[in-house]
Amino acid sequence: MLIELGYVSNKDDLQSLMSENWRSKTVGAVAKSIDGYFSKHLVSAGAAN
């Protein structure tokens, strides 16, 4: 999976990418989204068996 979160060539994106707080929030949100996706799809796949 590849997730594009910003461009280092963009001044505003670079500021965000350099922020520990922004990175922590972003990693948490991405992890929560991935977990939610797999939870939903694994439950659906398990119900079909």
The pTM assigned to this predicted structure is: 0.70
Spans of the chain, pLDDT less than 70: 44-49
Q: What is the DSSP letter of 10?
A: S
Q: Report which residue type is found at 24.
A: S
Q: Is there a contact between 16 and 22 (Cβ–Cβ < 8 Å)?
A: yes
**Of 2, 25, 6, which Cα lies nearest the Cα of 15?**
6
Predicted local confidence at residue 21, as pLDDT = 98
Q: Is there a contact between 6 and 18 (Cβ–Cβ < 8 Å)?
A: no
Rounded Cα gap, residues 35 and 33, in angstroms? 5
Predicted local confidence at residue 46, as pLDDT = 63
